[in-house]
Amino acid sequence: MGKGKSICVVVPAFNEENIIGDIVAGIKETMRDKAEIIVVDDGSSDETAKKAEDAGAIVIKHPYNKGNGAAIKTGIRNAKGDIIVLMDGDGQHNPEDIPRLLEAMNDYDMVVGARIDRSQASFHRNIANKIYNLFATYLTHVKIMDLTSGFRAVKRDVAMRFLYLFPNTFSYPTTSTLALIKAGYSVKYVPIKAFKRSGKSKISLFKDGVRFFLIMLKIATLFSPFRVFFPISSVIFFTGLVYSLYMLIFWHRFTNMSMLLLVTGVLVFLMGLIAEQVALLRMERSEE
C-alpha cells in the first residue's frame, strides 16, 4: 500500500451536499485517518463545502465553477502526499477500493480503477466508452481498459509533471492516461465496481464525447504524432495512386487531381516525420 509513502485523497465536488459527507466518512474509515483528504468545492451553490468540512476533510473553495479538471489540478497542487488518490464526489466510487489501488503503487506510476460493471451508465455511454478505449489502445499500443475512469492513484511528482496538460473539464482522466503511457510511465488497471452516481450526470455525451476525441488526438500528436499523420498520409497517397492508375488505364491521362493527391500524401507523411522528431526532442529536454 505505497509503503513508506504519504497518501492524499483528492475529491472534486460540485453541488454534492447529499453525498459528500458520506464519501469523506468512508475515506476516513477505510484509511483509518492515515491519509490527507482534500475536497475541492468547485463553486457549489449548496452546502457541499460545509458537509465536507464537518465530515473532517480539508476544503478548498473555488469562487466559481471552473470544471472538474480545474478542481483536480487545485487538489493536486495543494496535496502534501507522495501518492495522490483521485476519486469523484458523486458516490460512484467505493472508498473501500482505495487500498486495492495503493497496493500496486510500489511498482507502477499510476493505477486506475477500471469499471467492470457498467450498469450505472446508459447503453449509449457504454458504447462510447468502448470506442474511446479502442481508439486510445490504437494510439498508445497499450490495452486501455477504462480511459475515462476518474478513480485513480498516481505519484504526485509524476502528476505535477503533466499538470499543465490537464484540461479544466471532465477530460483529465483521458489526458493523464494517454500522457503517462506515451511518456513511458507504468500504468496498471485494477477492476472495480462502480455505483450509480448521486444526482444527474454533468457530462454531455455528445459535447464531451467530441472533446474526448480531440484531446486524444492532441495528446497523440504531442507524444507520438506519427501515429496520427501516417494513416492519414497513407489514405491520401493510396487514394491518389488508385485514382491515377484508373485514369491512366481507362482514360490514358494523368490529371491534376492525381498529382495533388499523391503530393499531399507525401507532404503529410514528411510532416509526420518532422513532428515525430520535434516530439522526441521535446521529451528529451523535459527529461533533463
180-193, pLDDT tens digit by residue? 988 889 999 999 98
Break the chain into its structural domains and give their ranges: 7-223, 226-287
Residues with Cβ < 8 Å from 244, sequence gap 6 or more?
254, 255, 258, 261, 262
Q: In this predicted model, what pLDDT tens digit does every residue of 201-232 receive, in sequence order?
A: 555 556 666 777 777 777 778 777 888 899 99
pLDDT score recorded for residue 1: 56
Work out the average pLDDT over 234-254.
94
pLDDT > 90: percent of the chain:
58
Name the pLDDT band for 117 (thresholds 50, 70, 90): low
Distance separating alpha carbons of residues 168 and 172, to the nearest angstrom: 8
Residues with Cβ < 8 Å from 110, sequence gap 6 or more?
152, 153, 154, 155, 158, 176, 177, 180, 185, 186, 187, 188
Mention the CATH class of domain 7-223. alpha beta
Distance separating alpha carbons of residues 61 and 146, to the nearest angstrom: 29
Distance separating alpha carbons of residues 47 and 96, to the nearest angstrom: 25
Distance separating alpha carbons of residues 279 and 170, to the nearest angstrom: 26
State if pTM tops 0.95.
Answer: no
Q: List beta partners, residue 155.
A: 83
Q: Is the dihedral of CA 115, 118, 119, 122 positive or negative?
A: positive
pLDDT at residue 249 above 90?
yes
Name the pLDDT band for 119 (thresholds 50, 70, 90): very low
Distance separating alpha carbons of residues 125 and 148, to the nearest angstrom: 11
Distance separating alpha carbons of residues 75 and 159, to the nearest angstrom: 11
Cell of 203: 457530462
Q: List beta partners, residue 13.
A: 41
3-class SS string, the chain: CCCCCCEEEEEEECCCCCCHHHHHHHHHHHHCCCEEEEEEECCCCCCHHHHHHHHCCEEEECCCCCCHHHHHHHHHHHCCCCEEEECCCCCCCCHHHHHHHHHCCCCCCEEEEEEEECCCCCHHHHHHHHHHHHHHHHHHCCCCCCCCCCCEEEEHHHHHHHHHHCCCCCCHHHHHHHHHHHCCCCEEEEEEECCCCCCCCCCCHHHHHHHHHHHHHHHHHHHCCHHHHHHHHHHHHHHHHHHHHHHHHHHCCCCHHHHHHHHHHHHHHHHHHHHHHHHHHHHHHHHC
Name the pLDDT band for 198 (thresholds 50, 70, 90): low
